[in-house]
């Protein structure tokens, strides 16, 4: 698996406990169903297996990255998130990232799930609600 941010790696590590399967098991299951697009993968995971939106979104994004030859860079993910109709929100994102980075080096914004994670003890996560870049659902 390519290098991922700490918050995403934590989700991957917790996936078997939270979803009943490892990331690789989910990949094999998605592949066995010949699913390729974000929406059908999300529906399959959420409706068919009771996976929460956050985990389903992460699994879908990582599966499709793996299927296409590897993950996009962080810059590519941000560019995709704030393109088209969401372009006007990009300056707000930049302010949030700059502000969070000013809190200390132990904080890192996640490019996958819209959260800020503290890497020292005690760990903490701050999440802001926004719509999924792919399907538009919160």
What does the pLDDT profile of the chain (138 residues) look like in tens digits?
445 677 888 888 889 999 999 999 999 999 999 999 999 999 999 999 999 999 999 999 989 988 887 765 556 667 777 778 888 888 888 888 788 777 777 766 665 556 666 666 565 555 555 555 555 555
The answer to whether residues 18 and 61 belong to one domain is yes
Q: Containing domain of residue 86, as a range?
A: 76-127
- For the chain, the domain total comes to 2
Structure tokens at 49: 């297996």
The answer to whether residues 63 and 111 belong to one domain is no
Which of 67, 91, 108 is at the close of a domain?
Answer: 67
Residue 2 has a pLDDT of 44
The answer to whether residues 80 and 54 belong to one domain is no
- Is residue 93 in some structural domain? yes
Backbone dihedral angles phi then psi of residue 21, each to the nearest 5 degrees: -145, 155
- Is residue 136 in some structural domain? no
The answer to whether residues 19 and 62 belong to one domain is yes
The answer to whether residues 92 and 50 belong to one domain is no
What is the DSSP annotation of the chain? -----HHHHHHHHHHHHHHSS-HHHHHHHHHHTT--SHHHHHHHHHHHH---HHHHHHHHHHHHHHHTTSPPPHHHHHHHHTSGGGGGGHHHHHHHHHHHHHT-TTEEE-TTTSEEEE-SSSPEEEE-----TTT---
Residue 4 has a pLDDT of 63
Residue 1 has a pLDDT of 43
- Is residue 82 in some structural domain? yes
- Is residue 29 in some structural domain? yes
Tell me which residue has tokens 């719509």.
Answer: 131
- Is residue 137 in some structural domain? no
Residue 74 has a pLDDT of 58
């Amino acid at each position: 698996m390519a290098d991922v941010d700490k918050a995403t790696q934590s989700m991957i590590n917790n996936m078997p406990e939270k979803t009943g399967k490892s990331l690789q098991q989910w990949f094999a299951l998605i592949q066995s169903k010949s699913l390729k697009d974000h929406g059908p993968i999300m529906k399959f995971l959420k409706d068919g297996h009771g996976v929460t939106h956050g985990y389903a979104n992460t699994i879908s994004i990582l599966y499709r990255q793996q299927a296409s030859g590897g993950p996009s860079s962080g810059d590519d993910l941000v560019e995709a998130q704030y393109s088209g109709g969401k372009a006007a929100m990009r300056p707000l994102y930049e302010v949030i990232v700059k502000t969070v980075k000013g809190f200390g080096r132990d904080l890192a914004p996640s490019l996958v799930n819209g959260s800020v994670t503290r890497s020292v003890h005690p760990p903490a996560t701050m999440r802001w609600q926004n719509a999924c870049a792919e399907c538009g659902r919160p």
